[in-house]
Amino acid sequence: MLPLPVLEKAKEQLICYEDSGMSVMEMSHRSPVYEKIIKDTESNLRTLLCVPDNYRILFMQGGASGQFAAVPLNLMTGSGKADYIISGQFSGKAFKEAKKYGDVVAAASSEADNFSHVPETTAASFRADADYVHMCFNNTIYGTKFPYIPDTGSIPLVADMSSCILSEPVDVKKFGVIYAGAQKNMAPAGVTVVIVRDDLIGRENPLTPAVLSYKNMAENDSMYNTPPCYPIYMCGLVAEYLLSIGGLSEMEKINKKKAALLYDYLDSQDYYIAPVEPSSRSMMNVTFVTGDKELDKKFAAEADAAGMKNLKGHRSVGGMRASIYNAMPIEGVETLITFMQRFAKENRK
């Protein structure tokens, strides 16, 4: 979901952006009017996330999956080593992709426990000469999130924050690189935001494609090639909206309230099972099952018919998953709980 005020503003400007005489989807990315849009978007994201001056904000393409290759190509060029924390499907995919480019190991993993929690790590978990440590901060499929920022010492920490970016304040200084596909909390799919520390720019493998080079994209202000203009514009509107409601500290309060409401219900009953250990629970993705695959299918189908879409869990794990990203109102969570109560009453054996 996107915030309603954002969609309404985009609707107003769809055919004609301000007095430009054209839609954002029609204008040249080199035009002064669009250059202002992308610069304002970057500025608002910098303010919202408190991004220090020694970090660049890049607008790239290829989603988080593109960054699975971009990160090792740009950073794994010192010792040629990188350590990965495996906490779910996407960190596993990033790990698999990075192995194409160097000496990559899984420093910690919770796979043996079906990713029902995030791995615990200490500074000793990582090789001292690793070029970076990679993690996925929030795991959409399994409904887990890191309750801590791993201590990697002097090793740059790289975080995929695709599914939790802008949901709460982030201490950017503790990371070398943060990247996020936009389509959870920032904008429609199409743009990937990359926040990278200056000293990590310019290290890339000579074979790095130009569109994946942090140095190339930074030197060209994210316009080496035509950027995804409309998603960047939408990202700007979302950033404006979040600033208008009080920023990420206010968004965090709203998200915690929504998540607590749903988890409190799950913890208070005995019909649904919440498989994630409480210390690793995600604010964005709440997973649960009935313990009966056929009932799970029935739940998803009846919920869909009742107007609650996409509650079916990922095909790799089944069950149900309620994604309560930023724009989901608390009323949506309340409606879901009412449905869950009724379903449990009607289907209890």
- SS3 sequence, 131-179? CCEEEECEECCCCEECCCCCCCCCCCEEEECCCCCCCCCCCHHHCCEEE
Phi, psi (degrees; rounded to nearest 5) at 177: -140, 135
Describe the crossing of helices 248-268 and 330-347 by its angle, rounded to 10 degrees.
10
pLDDT for res 285: 97
Percent of the chain with pLDDT over 70: 100
pLDDT (mean) for 302-315: 92
pLDDT for res 51: 98
pLDDT for res 314: 82
Rounded to whole angstroms, how far apart are CA atoms 241 and 7? 11
Coil vs helix vs strand at 251: helix
Tens of pLDDT, residues 200-247: 999 999 999 999 999 999 999 999 999 999 999 999 999 999 999 999
Tens of pLDDT, residues 141-172: 999 999 999 999 999 999 999 999 999 999 99
Cβ atoms of 280 and 118 closer than 8 Å: yes
pLDDT (mean) for 293-303: 96
> Mean pLDDT in the chain?
97
Coil vs helix vs strand at 27: coil
Percent of the chain with pLDDT over 90: 98
pLDDT for residue 92 is more than 80: yes
C-alpha closest to that of 44 among 271, 209, 248? 248
pLDDT for res 318: 84
C-alpha closest to that of 184 among 114, 117, 217, 137? 137
Q: How far is CA 41 from CA 79, 116, 236, 240, in A?
A: 36, 36, 4, 8
pLDDT for res 317: 81
**HSE of 185 in the Cβ direction (CA atoms, 13 Å)?**
26
Question: Which structure tokens are listed for 118?
Answer: 């995030």
pLDDT for residue 333 is more than 80: yes
Rounded to whole angstroms, how far apart are CA atoms 158 and 327? 26
The distance from CA 109 to its chain's CA centroid, rounded to whole angstroms, is: 20
pLDDT for res 349: 78
pLDDT for res 174: 98
The distance from CA 85 to its chain's CA centroid, rounded to whole angstroms, is: 16
Class of domain 4-244: alpha beta
- Could you tell me where in the chain the CATH 3.40.640.10 domains are found? 4-244
Consecutive H or E run containing 180: strand 177-181
Tens of pLDDT, residues 254-292: 999 999 999 999 999 999 999 999 999 999 999 999 999
pLDDT for res 337: 98
Say if strands 144-145 and 157-160 run parallel, antiparallel, or are unpaired: unpaired
Amino acid (1-letter code) at residue 168: E
For residue 279, give the DSSP letter: G
- Could you tell me where in the chain the CATH 3.90.1150.10 domains are found? 248-347
Tell me the pLDDT band of 179, cut-offs 50, 70 and 90: very high
- In sign, the C-alpha dihedral spanning 4, 6, 9, 10 is negative
Phi, psi (degrees; rounded to nearest 5) at 266: -60, -40
For the domain with range 248-347, which CATH number is right: 3.90.1150.10, 3.30.70.260, 3.40.50.300, 3.40.50.12280? 3.90.1150.10
Q: pTM of the entire structure?
A: 0.97
Name every residue whose Cβ is closer than 8 Å to that of residue 105 and which is 6 or more positions away in sequence: 81, 82, 83, 84, 127
pLDDT for residue 316 is more than 80: no
